[in-house]
Copies of this chain bind each other. A is one copy, B any other.
Amino acid sequence: MTVTDAETPRRLPPFPEELVASTAFLLKRLGFVAKEQAFDAYESAGLGPYHHAVLIALGENSHETQGAVADALGYDRGQMVGLLDELEEQGLVERKRDPSDRRRHIVKLTPEGKRMLVRLRALSKRIEDEFLAPLDEEERGQLHALLLRLAEHHLPRRGPLVLPPARR
């Protein structure tokens, strides 16, 4: 949420070699700047990457309940309330009670939400292309495959993480 270096007044000294030699260090730092860049970019849409993730989840599997979306994304259910409030304010989703279990909220994308999803998908692609710019297509594929392997072990889910169908 902070610009890391865009307006840094002077060049910084190099990182200690021992840190640069650590894959985990690079992963942590790069994940952090990717997050920062994403937040900055989404700001123009009045949303954040979390909102986008919620819209994606709702787009892939409709008629979701609020808690199911939270679980699908690994979010806390308390967080989810605020995210959905904001999405609802902008008319991107609608919540209604599940008649068969009145404790539950069924959440659905509105037409505006679907349009926003298209817009955010383009935005997200632009951010990612920019971030991966140093790598050619083959290298991007390699990186994705390697990270996916790690994700299968460290982001455990019900099934194995599916391989993405030919990207876009």
Contacts and interface: CB of A to CB of B under 8 A. Distances in A.
Given A142-B142, A146-B142, A23 B155 contact: no
Copies of this chain in its oligomeric complex = 2
A82 interface: no
Contacts of A89: none
Q: Which of under 10, 10 to 19, 20 to 34, or 35 or more describes the interface residues of A?
A: 35 or more
Contacts of A16: 53, 56-57, 60-61, 72-73
A135 interface: yes
Contacts of A158: 11-14
A11 to B, nearest CB: 5
Interface in A32-67: 32-35, 38, 53, 56-57, 59-61
Interface of A: 4-5, 11-24, 26-35, 38, 53, 56-57, 59-61, 68, 71-74, 121, 124, 127-128, 131-135, 139-140, 142-144, 146-159, 161-162, 164-165, 167
7 contacts: A16-B60, A26-B151, A27-B34, A30-B31, A31-B32, A133-B153, A139-B149
A141 to B, nearest CB: 9
Contacts of A167: 21
A57 B16 CA distance: 6
Contacts of A17: 60, 162, 164-165
Contacts of A68: 13
A60 B22 CA distance: 15
